[in-house]
Structure 1
């Protein structure tokens, strides 16, 4: 039976500032170097952009040590055919993912473009979420050390820091199919059912998942951040002392300003620029 331990009662989307900026981090002073959200003249350019960022997200996961054999899958919708999604190939290390070996698949798990096989668990989980939530653009999952360890506790992340507050009332704990490998489609449906209105999920006895209605960059960064927050909470609890929590009103304020989709996208920009400069083969 599907069950969840922590589900938000509803959160407001970040409001534009009075001066029209999306975020307080956008400079008011004109003429400064600062990342700008991309715009596209044609769908081919947008597809290439999403593919490049998907590859960069895989490479970032490799740097973070998120690899575990063939486990782990990242997806992003195709901008022209939203019923299809791009994903990393089966049995290719995150560090070896590149433009030329990405695969395009449908919600039935059929590869429609690419030479490699698709990860069955990735299809079951991601296809179910993408199909159930047409607004979700991208999704990430990997078998990480600290996220998997924290998931064994079957409880939500506490707002022990400003970073953790970014997930306050913005993640769920899913108990359905806990610990059972997700290779049957009903398991994906169970996960997909709970992945609405939040950017992250802790699947008990399994690990972390993130989703974005904005970009693969946001989904990837918030996965990196969630893993980091799980590690920090485990470290704090290992001291045997009760941590001081950020009060709910302050946690919500922090989440609005440092936990939005835009901020996730913004955090990923230096990661992408570093990878593009140091690992040019990702564009092969």
Structure 2
């Protein structure tokens, strides 16, 4: 299989994201996925082979699929029902180069709280007005629920799937991974708070200011941090 240099780099970065997710304990057996667009191939995406642990994912065994999760190249199988989420987001969000749908313990716990993610930490303020919530409707993602999810998601970077997990999208693999890391920490901090009734929430104007300050890097967000993440895997 002949692939472009751009696709080779995306394969390396995506496999690294899987490896890093395993390192951070974000994996869930052989379930959940991280997908990324294939440069220069409209409607083509890379995703993990179903049945592999995250730490087993390599640039070579990533599978190329279309929006329906059908294999374009590589060795399957792929989890078509799992790609129902990714395909819907990729189709509706041209800005979503990378989509991370994970079952991170901290994110699931906060998704099950009625108030959702509160702006009680600097980490949470990165998502001030930039995160939403989608109600749990069972295991299968129907076409109807896909539409509801996309409508709820809007142009935000993250969505809490109530009682389920989360989705983070980024304009790059690096941004999506970085934002997932920030979301995980924000949720952990919230869970460590003694009581939601006694937490300090900054004034809305301060929350808005901080959000703008934290987003000042724009689409380059996560690029500066990426080499440090890779260092965790001893990748030079």
TM-score, L = length of structure 2 = 0.90
Supply the distance in 2 between the matched residues of 1:122 and 1:240 (Cα, whole angstroms): 33
Larger-gyration structure (1/2): 1
Structure 2 gap segments, 5+ residues each: none
Can you list the C-alpha shifts for 1:94-135, whole angstroms capped at 9, x where unaligned? 111101110011012201111121123321100011112223
1:232 partnered with 2:193: no
Assess, with a 3 A threshold, how the Cα gap between structure 1 residues 170 and 240 changes in structure 2: closer, same or farther: closer
Alignment pair present for 1:65 and 2:25: yes
Select which of 29, 44, 50 maps to 1:84: 44
- Give the Å deviation of 1:272: 2.3
Higher relative contact order (CA 8 A, sep 6+): 1
Trace 1:1-284 onto structure 2 (pairs within 5 A): 44-175=4-135, 178-212=136-170, 214-236=171-193, 238-239=194-195, 242-259=198-215, 260-277=218-235
CA RMSD of aligned residues (A): 1.9
Query: CA separation in 2, counterparts of 1:77 and 1:189?
Result: 21
Deviation, structure 1 residue 273: 4.0
Distance 2:104 2:137 in 1: 14
Aligned counterparts of 2:4 and 2:115: Cα–Cα separation in 1: 42
Q: How far 1:183 moved relative to its partner? A: 4.2
**Normalization by structure 1: what TM-score?**
0.76
Shift of the 131–140 alpha-carbon distance from structure 1 to 2, 3 Å rule, reads same
Deviation at 1:179, TM superposition (A): 4.7
Question: Is residue 151–residue 205 contact of structure 1 (8 Å, CA) maintained in 2?
Answer: yes
Contact 1:156 1:173 in 2 (8 A): yes
Unaligned runs of 5+ in 1: 1-42, 279-284
Equivalences, count? 232
C-alpha contact 1:84 1:104 (8 A) present in aligned 2 = yes
Aligned to 1:27: none
Task: Describe the shift of the 1:247–1:85 C-alpha distance in structure 2 as closer, same or farther (beyond 3 A).
Answer: same
Judge conservation of contact 2:68–2:80 (CA < 8 Å) in 1: no
